[in-house]
């Protein structure tokens, strides 16, 4: 809709006098009004408030009737157009609101200037700005992060099956840096560190005063170098000191064995490159040991922090012939992608049981959730970690990267288990861990953890520390992954039948076989 307004010179002068009398200020977005006045003067109004009383009074004296008429008509038409837009166009409000946060950049610049001008020591501007970016992204959720070019390289290397470190997974709970697990045969395990231990100091520095980057950097280092840890065991009052030598830790991703002569057992420690192929190879090997193939399969996903989503989907597809495996949705529940099973990749139809615990996260939960919803396996153990968020990498011009949570994933039944976890069909505690004090750490315990429905953010009692997580395989947490010469091949020792969770899973398969034979 447009307005065309014609006024005479006298009316125009009265209109200008009215604006002057009302002490009117003008704010006209990004519009520039440029009209020739007496062939020499111009009026420009562009993106900021200007007090026009004296300017207009001067212009009135020198204006010709013709240009004053054109100027006033243009001004009134422009004002009417803006008023009409504000009354009828919601987009104008949205656009205005979208620009408001950027006004805080002026405050940021002022703070930066104050620091550079007055801080007791000389500061590195680039380091400060990078730190601010880190803080901004980390405030979103525990899994979003800003990575420099070097950190991006570390991230890519951490998705491989080996890394340099002391061989443990750690996580922050409040101000406490806790050990989630130590890799069997790795430097930390050989030094005597255990799951549930609280690390109070690293090389003499209190961890409560360290940022998350400082914590992980302190644990990293060259092969053969050492790190001194001050540690408190949950069942002891005294603080013990451990000196641990860093080494290349080679993860044994997939392991297998026969149980009771004709039942298969396959443990997946992480979902890295070609995990699905390795799982298939192990199952085929087990089937080769039994004339008619194994009677049933136990898939052990305990202490598996996740990894590549596509590998999780591929593993689930080995046992699911058709239908949805997992779907992802972004902001406002908008569908991102649906991952469905392909009959071409379906291989095994044997009865199954899946073992999970509080350390089973991400891709592990995708596999367990799909098998549970398709009634393809009985789930045994404890409620899983509860990470159902997905991240994407956005590479920037300078080589740095923003790793950003872009959505949540949903099991085939349409349930999002973010901060909730997969609830087992048969709940069984780990009796070995029950024999000594321990502290579990799940997604819901991490600061800034997002919820399943996105309506609220989980609040933590202690907001003073950056959220922590250190599951090395999926790259969102853990130590550096660089290939060196010294290696320690690790992996939990294969469990025995004294493992109550494993024993229960085996009994579930035996009971199913008995029931089927009775029919």
What's the pLDDT score for residue 39?
35
Tell whether the model's pLDDT for residue 27 goes beyond 60.
no
Its sign, for the CA torsion 257, 361, 475, 488, is negative
Tell whether the model's pLDDT for residue 23 goes beyond 90.
no
Between 134 and 490, residue with greater pLDDT:
134
- Which of 72, 26, 14 lies closest to 53 in space, CA to CA? 26
Tell whether the model's pLDDT for residue 471 goes beyond 70.
no
Between 185 and 276, residue with greater pLDDT:
276
pLDDT by residue (tens digit) across 216-270? 778 888 889 999 999 998 877 889 999 999 998 877 789 999 998 899 999 998 8
Tell whether the model's pLDDT for residue 401 goes beyond 70.
yes
Q: What percent of the chain clears pLDDT 70, i.e. is strictly above it? A: 65
Angle at alpha carbon of residue 94, lines to 142 and 89, rounded to 5°: 160
User: Residue 267: beta bridge partners?
Assistant: 255, 300
CB 147 within 8 A of CB 400: yes
**Which among 16-30, 277-291, 445-459 has the top mean pLDDT?**
277-291
From-to residues of CATH 3.90.226.10 in the chain: 252-436+492-518
pTM of the entire predicted model? 0.65
What's the pLDDT score for residue 41?
35
Q: What percent of the chain clears pLDDT 90, i.e. is strictly above it? A: 42
Among candidate residues 195, 256, 362, 469, the one labeled active-site is 362
Among candidate residues 387, 403, 469, 499, the one labeled active-site is 387
Between 329 and 178, residue with greater pLDDT:
329
Its sign, for the CA torsion 393, 395, 401, 407, is negative
Let me know if 373 is a catalytic residue. yes
Let me know if 362 is a catalytic residue. yes
**Which of the four CATH numbers 3.30.1380.20, 3.40.50.720, 3.40.50.300, 3.90.226.10 does domain 252-436+492-518 have?**
3.90.226.10
Between 175 and 105, residue with greater pLDDT:
105
What's the pLDDT score for residue 487?
36
What's the pLDDT score for residue 476?
34
pLDDT by residue (tens digit) across 415-431? 999 989 999 999 998 76
Among candidate residues 300, 357, 373, 445, the one labeled active-site is 373
- CB environment 351-380: b (16+ within 10 A), e (fewer): bbbbbbbbbbbbbbbbbbbbbbbbebbbbb
Between CA 172 and CA 176 the distance in angstroms is 6
User: Residue 182: beta bridge partners?
Assistant: 168
Tell whether the model's pLDDT for residue 377 goes beyond 80.
yes
Tell whether the model's pLDDT for residue 366 goes beyond 90.
yes
Neighbouring residues of 239: CB distance < 8 A, sequence distance ≥ 6 = 200, 230, 231, 232
What's the pLDDT score for residue 43?
37
Let me know if 252 is a catalytic residue. no
Between 145 and 471, residue with greater pLDDT:
145
């Amino acid at each position: 809709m447009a307005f065309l307004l014609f006024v005479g010179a006298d009316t125009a002068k009265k209109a200008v006098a009215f604006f002057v009398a009302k002490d009117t200020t003008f704010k006209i977005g990004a519009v520039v009004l440029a009209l020739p006045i007496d062939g020499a003067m111009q009026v420009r109004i562009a993106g900021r408030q200007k007090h026009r009383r004296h300017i207009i009074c001067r212009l009135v004296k020198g204006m010709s009737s013709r240009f004053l008429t054109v100027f006033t008509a243009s001004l009134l038409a422009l004002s009417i157009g803006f008023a009409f837009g504000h009354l009828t166009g919601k987009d104008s409000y949205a656009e205005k609101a979208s620009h408001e946060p950027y006004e805080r950049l002026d405050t940021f610049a002022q703070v930066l200037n104050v620091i550079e001008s007055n801080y007791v020591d000389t500061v590195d501007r680039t380091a400060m700005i990078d730190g601010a970016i880190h803080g901004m992204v980390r405030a979103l959720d525990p899994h979003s992060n800003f990575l420099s070019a070097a950190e991006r390289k570390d991230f890519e290397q951490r998705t491989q099956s080996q890394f340099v470190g002391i061989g443990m997974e750690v996580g922050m709970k409040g101000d406490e840096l806790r050990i989630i697990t130590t890799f069997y045969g790795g430097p930390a395990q050989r030094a005597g560190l255990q799951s549930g231990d609280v690390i109070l100091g690293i090389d003499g520095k209190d961890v409560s005063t360290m940022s998350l980057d400082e914590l992980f950097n302190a644990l990293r280092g060259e092969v053969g170098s050492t790190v001194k840890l001050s540690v408190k065991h949950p069942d002891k009052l005294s603080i013990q000191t451990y000196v641990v030598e860093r080494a290349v830790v080679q993860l044994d991703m997939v392991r297998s064995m026969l149980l009771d002569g004709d039942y298969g057992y396959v443990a997946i420690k992480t979902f890295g490159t070609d995990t699905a192929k390795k799982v298939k190879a192990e199952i085929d090997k087990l089937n080769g040991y039994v004339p008619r193939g194994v009677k049933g399969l136990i898939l052990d996903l305990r202490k598996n922090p996740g990894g590549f989503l596509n590998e999780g989907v591929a593993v689930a597809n080995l046992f699911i012939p058709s239908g949805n495996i997992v779907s992802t949705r972004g902001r406002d529940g908008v569908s991102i992608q649906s991952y469905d099973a392909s009959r071409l990749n379906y291989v095994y139809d044997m009865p199954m049981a899946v073992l999970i615990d509080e350390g089973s996260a991400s891709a592990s939960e995708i596999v367990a959730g799909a098998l549970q919803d398709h009634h393809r396996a009985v789930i045994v153990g404890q409620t899983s970690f509860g990470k159902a968020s997905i991240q994407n990498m956005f590479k920037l011009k300078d080589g740095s990267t923003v790793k950003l949570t872009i959505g949540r994933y949903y099991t085939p039944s349409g349930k999002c288990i973010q901060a909730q976890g997969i609830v087992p069909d048969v709940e069984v505690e780990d009796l070995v861990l029950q024999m000594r004090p321990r502290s579990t750490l799940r997604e819901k315990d991490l600061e800034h953890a997002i919820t399943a429905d996105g309506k609220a953010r989980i609040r933590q009692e202690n907001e003073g520390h950056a959220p922590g997580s250190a599951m090395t395989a999926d790259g969102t947490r853990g130590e550096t992954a660089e290939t060196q010469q010294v290696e320690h091949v690790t992996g939990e020792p294969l469990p025995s039948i004294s493992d109550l969770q494993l024993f229960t899973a085996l009994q579930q398969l035996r009971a199913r076989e008995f029931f089927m034979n009775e029919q």
